Structure 1
């Protein structure tokens, strides 16, 4: 995945807010994050199926050039394969339309990144400890999360400045005011690039990756946390 490069004079900063969803919104948040995990697990199984098939075929003496083709793990390839089966695969057919396409894209993108990191690690092109083959994510252990890169993503200019709007999830209330971010957006010195929702320690949070004009960014300090420019 290509790294996002901010325009000259700008940096990327994450604005994080605790969410205060109602019961319906909380169910939708869990559904979106569950869809991301399901898509990730589907991608892992789909990719590895060709690996195990090739391994089985090789034990029968089938020539290398006649073995089952490797399945690609690029994000475009995974999207194409997933879109071809989501209407009929029993794991998705009954409910895939309940969530934003960004939920499934989150899982597919994470799978593509995981296999890319695994391949680079095997080839000695990745620093750090060796990475194992990507594993399935369990509902019990995986941290629920979902990323939105398209659709309506905004901090709302309402009376109390405590709402954000996300695709399919609609307008959600935040515990903290978003007025500082909103003021910068309205001044043309900031724009939201993406949003990620996560469930941590029993609460929901949204992190808004934002391109911000550099002269508005304070000097590094305990309260300042600048996000990576990788989006």
Structure 2
């Protein structure tokens, strides 16, 4: 099983400049390829009788070498894999767009989501050193796994740079047969069928006033000035802190579930539809339901447990977990479930979690 590994880099000034150059080349190749492919799509739409074949990643790279590189000599200062991988990612983005899995790819802007992928002479030299093409030997704060990755991705979060690559890990075989139902919510991140309640990090809610204050102070600064850059860095650091707190909570919960249970049952939530409710959109985004499901999928595979996704129309909240009678209506304000048939009384979320655990038995 392939698992992603990501750690922070310990860089000097020259290495930072070289990495920024590689990110700039990758961004330029992406924007050039996106502009070209959009022109081809517009031409095919306006001239159905004279359609041009949509280019592959190899075609785009050949055109880049023939048309763009000779006019931009700074391309030769960086590894050839940086623009090549950017065009490959662009082609994959178009494929997802054509399959209606995502929207149309967007142009990239300098300083936002800077990253580049490098392949070739990638070697892990010691516990804290890794060699990458053109840039050379990079140091890390964390111990590196002793493997030889084929490619690495270097990305930036605020003022810190991270390197990531895939490693091969052995999957475990779990002997656990315990079934647990997990009901996700806005008030609490997860309620288990055992009655245990896992509170959410709510990091955005905690730092929302501070974030608003920083953005408000930045409103009159001249874009591109030193004071504007300092303010943007403070905002980016706070966004990174908010995201890290949320990820930490999700990783602890998903590891706890996958390690200690044989079968985990969750609902197939329509997160995009839930975000349409503007009163709850911020709270739903703050919980990270999609990320929780993504982590559960690979961690269950890693630890040998089984993840069961119940249909989103399954009436887990309206059904009595004691007698099985379904209620016709149940408002969101009713936090305690009262069964009119058998008189069973239980917390609404615990009742839903128990119903989820019974859905596979």
**Same fold judged by TM-score > 0.5?**
yes
Unaligned runs of 5+ in 1: 1-10, 59-63, 186-190
Contact (CA 8 Å) 2:116, 2:154: kept in 1 or not? Answer: yes
1:156 aligns with 2:122: no
1:73 to 52, 55, 59: 55
1:55–1:213 CA distance, 2 compared to 1 (3 A): closer
Report the structure, 1 or 2, having the larger helix content. Answer: 2
Q: 1:85 to 1:156 in 2, by over 3 A?
A: same
Structure 2 Cα separation of the partners of residues 53 and 16 of structure 1? 41
Q: 2:97 aligns to what?
A: 118
Deviations 1:51-96 (A, max 9, x none): 333455x5xxxxx32x3x32423212212221221333x4xx2211
Indicate how the Cα distance of structure 1 residues 74 and 212 shifts in structure 2: closer, same or farther if over 3 A, else same: same
- 2:67 pairs, out of 85, 93, 116, with 85
Q: Distance in 2 between matches of 1:153 and 1:54?
A: 41
Task: Work out which of the residue numbers 78, 90, 94 in structure 1 matches 2:73.
Answer: 94
Q: 2 CA distance for matches of 1:132 and 1:173? A: 37
Question: Per-residue deviation at 1:212?
Answer: 2.9
Q: Distance in 1 between matches of 2:167 and 2:6?
A: 11
Give the number of the structure with larger relative contact order, counting CA–CA contacts within 8 Å between residues 6 or more apart: 1
8 Å Cα contact 1:20/1:173 also seen in 2: yes
- Taking the aligned partners of 2:86 and 2:25, their CA distance within structure 1 comes to 8
1:22 match: 12
1:48 to partner: Cα distance = 1.3
Shift of 1:116: 1.0
What is the number of residues matched between the two proteins? 181
TM-score by length of 2: 0.46
Do the aligned partners of residues 114 and 164 (structure 1) sit closer, same or farther apart at CA in structure 2, a change above 3 Å counting?
same
Are 1:105 and 2:95 counterparts? no
Kindly indicate whether residue 177 of structure 2 is the aligned counterpart of residue 143 of structure 1.
no
Q: TM-score, normalised by structure 1?
A: 0.69
For 1:112 and 1:87, the matched residues in 2 are separated by 20
Is 1:47–2:37 an aligned residue pair?
yes
SS in structure 2 at match of 1:171: strand
Residue aligning to 1:5:
none
Secondary structure of 2:65 counterpart: helix
Instruction: Quote the RMSD (CA, aligned, Å).
Output: 2.6
Q: Which runs of 5+ in 2 are unaligned?
A: 173-253, 260-294, 302-361
1:12-61 Cα distance to aligned partner (Å, 9 max, x none): 122222101111110011111111111110101111122333455x5xxx
Taking the aligned partners of 2:138 and 2:10, their CA distance within structure 1 comes to 7
Rounded to whole Å, the distance in 1 between the matches of 2:3 and 2:58 is 27
Alpha carbons of structure 1 residues 120 and 163: separation in structure 2 relative to 1, 3 Å: same
Distance (Å, rounded) in 2 between the aligned partners of 1:199 and 1:132: 24
Please identify the structure whose Cα radius of gyration is greater. 2
Q: Measure the CA separation in 2 of the matches of 1:136 and 1:70.
A: 22
Do the aligned residues in 2 keep the contact of 1:192 with 1:211 (CA within 8 Å)? Answer: no
List per-residue Cα deviations over 1:190-214 (Å, max 9, x = no partner).
x423211110121001012112344
What residue in structure 2 maps to residue 208 of structure 1?
A: 165
Matches within 5 A, 1:149-188: 150-157=119-126, 161-178=127-144, 181-182=145-146, 185=147
